[in-house]
Chain A
Amino acid sequence: MSFQFDTLMDFLHMGGHGIYVWPSYAVTLAALLLLALSPTIQQRRFIIQQKRQQRIEQGVRQKRPEPEHVNENIAVKILGKGIKRLGKLVDYIF
């Protein structure tokens, strides 16, 4: 048993049949990869979504108080209040 083709070009050309043989193998490879990867992607999405769900449920159960913001920066505090008031104003108008 030996390699049937003399050069790489021969191997790719396959006596004129390369244009049928290589696409067959390429499409098969692509389709099989698709079959192998799609459940993996689906699982990953599922786990991310479930983790978010778990986090929400934990938060509800423990009633964790909002972490205290140690806001030294007065300007930021005032801006924050201002934005809140602006928000209320916008809510009121619309």
Chain B
Amino acid sequence: MDWQWFHRLGSPRWFYEKTSRWMPWIASCALLLLIVGAVWGLGFAPMDSKQGNSYRIIYIHVPAAFLALAGYYVMAIAGAVGLIWQMKLSYLVMRAAAPIGAVLTFLALLTGALWGKPTWGTWWVWDARITSMLILLFLYLGVIALQGAYQRQQTANKACAILALVGTINIPIIYKSVDWWFSLHQPATLKLVGQSSIDPSMAYPLLIMIAGFYGLYSWLIMHWTRSSILEAESKTRWVQEIVAKKGA
């Protein structure tokens, strides 16, 4: 079997050059989707009969929470690949995923609080979904803190990867929390199998926003990884050539 693609995937230079070509397209698609979704969700989707207009927060709350979870998979898988195959690139991806995921988790919690106040009458409840999301935030922050806690980069990378892998236990708990424990948080709006509990007129902008957030996330992870590639590979000839080519 030809494994060449797999080894090339681990090469920071290959990643940098490929993503240079992809990024403008991803950025424009994501931006278009986000603008269409936000305008549709804020102005054109019908008002919710029970929650009024406060439900419009769903168009950022759900996509942010989606990507906070998906981003954790990215971080944990990148960490595992780094541990197993010692790939340079995968640790860089893992380190990039932590701050992006932390911000997305924070956004999910914040928009949730802002949605909870008019809907439940409270900013915060210690229910299973919200508490497990808070733990997710601490896991992300823990990975960020661990990165700076070791003198040797290689040791720090391994420690972060192990923390990220241990933390994956939290992910199914977050997914299932609204079904396992009765709480204020409403059950999942969109379902892969079976009937969604949301009207199509409200669901379309939500799907567009989720797609937009996925695009934005992939752009962000590339952007962050590329910037750390330049610093990690600063002594190599190809990075020096890029530096020489850039103006000023």
Known contacts A17-B53, A43-B227, A50-B234: A24-B44 contact under CB 8 Å: no
Within 8 A of B (CB), among A31-75: 31-32, 34-36, 39-40, 42-43, 46-48, 50-51, 54
Q: Are B246 and A47 in contact (CB under 8 A)?
A: yes
Q: Are A24 and B43 in contact (CB under 8 A)?
A: no
Q: Are A31 and B106 in contact (CB under 8 A)?
A: yes
Interface of A (DSSP majority class): helix
Query: In the assembly, what is the distance between CA of A2 and CA of B45, in Å?
Result: 8
Query: In the assembly, what is the distance between CA of A50 and CA of B231, in Å?
Result: 10
Task: Choose from B44, B52, B110, B244 the contact partner of A17 (Cβ within 8 Å).
Answer: B52
Known contacts A15-B52, A20-B114: A39-B103 contact under CB 8 Å: no
Q: Does B46 contact A (CB under 8 A)?
A: yes
Q: Are A27 and B43 in contact (CB under 8 A)?
A: no
Task: Choose from B110, B219, B240 the contact partner of A27 (Cβ within 8 Å).
Answer: B110
Q: How far is the CB of A56 from chain B (nearest CB, A)?
A: 13
Q: Does B57 contact A (CB under 8 A)?
A: yes
- Chain A residue contacts of B246, Cβ below 8 A: 47, 51
- Chain B residue contacts of A94, Cβ below 8 A: none
Q: Does B111 contact A (CB under 8 A)?
A: yes
Q: Does A4 contact B (CB under 8 A)?
A: yes
Contact flags B206-248 to A (C-beta < 8 A → 1, else 0): 0000000000100110011011001100100001100110101
Known contacts A20-B115, A24-B57, A50-B243: A39-B226 contact under CB 8 Å: yes
Query: In the assembly, what is the distance between CA of A68 and CA of B61, in Å?
Result: 66
Known contacts A20-B54, A21-B54, A23-B114: A4-B223 contact under CB 8 Å: no
Query: In the assembly, what is the distance between CA of A3 and CA of B227, in Å?
Result: 42
- Chain B residue contacts of A36, Cβ below 8 A: 219-220, 223
- Chain A residue contacts of B115, Cβ below 8 A: 20, 24
Query: In the assembly, what is the distance between CA of A5 and CA of B44, in Å?
Result: 9
Contact flags B130-145 to A (C-beta < 8 A → 1, else 0): 0000000000000000
- Chain A residue contacts of B248, Cβ below 8 A: 48, 51
Q: How far is the CB of A81 from chain B (nearest CB, A)?
A: 36
Q: How far is the CB of B46 from chain A (nearest CB, A)?
A: 7
Q: How far is the CB of B147 from chain A (nearest CB, A)?
A: 15
Query: In the assembly, what is the distance between CA of A77 and CA of B209, in Å?
Result: 69
Q: Which residues from chain A sit less than 8 Å from chain B, CB to CB? A: 1-5, 11, 14-18, 20-21, 23-25, 27-28, 31-32, 34-36, 39-40, 42-43, 46-48, 50-51, 54
Given contacts A4-B44, A4-B46, A16-B52, 9 further A-B contacts (CB under 8 A): A2-B44, A15-B53, A17-B52, A20-B57, A21-B42, A25-B38, A36-B220, A43-B227, A47-B230
List of 5 A-B pairs having minimum Cβ-Cβ separation, nearest first? A14-B53, A39-B227, A17-B54, A17-B53, A50-B243
